[in-house]
Amino acid sequence: MGRPATKPTKLKDGYYIEVRNKGERSGIKLRRDTEEAMLQAIKEYERVKDVTVLGKAKNGKLHAI
C-alpha cells in the first residue's frame, strides 16, 4: 500500500449520491452526468441500500439541489 493522498480530490461536474448498506456509517459516492440518470440510480439502489443525495458538483464544489 502506498501513502495516503495529501491533496483533496477535485469533483467532476455532475450529480452525486452516496450509497451505503443499511445500518452502515460509510458508503460510496456515485456520480451521474444528468439528473435523470441520478434519479434512475436512486430508484435502483433504494430498495436494498440507504441512498443520500449529496448534490450537484460544478467547478469542483457541491451545491444543494
Domain boundaries, the chain: 14-63
Q: What residues contact 50, with CB distance under 8 A and at least 6 apart?
A: 19, 20, 21, 22, 24, 27
- Cell numbers for 44, please give them: 435502483
Decide: helix, strand or coil at residue 52.
strand
Burial of 17 (0-12, 13-18, 19+ CB in 10 A): buried
At 24 the pLDDT is 92
At 46 the pLDDT is 93
At 31 the pLDDT is 97
pTM score, two decimals? Answer: 0.85
DSSP state of 2: -
Decide: helix, strand or coil at residue 34.
coil
**Stronger pLDDT, 2 or 1, i.e. the higher one:** 2
User: pLDDT, tens digit, for every residue of 3-45?
Assistant: 988 988 889 999 999 999 998 999 999 999 999 999 999 999 9
At 9 the pLDDT is 83
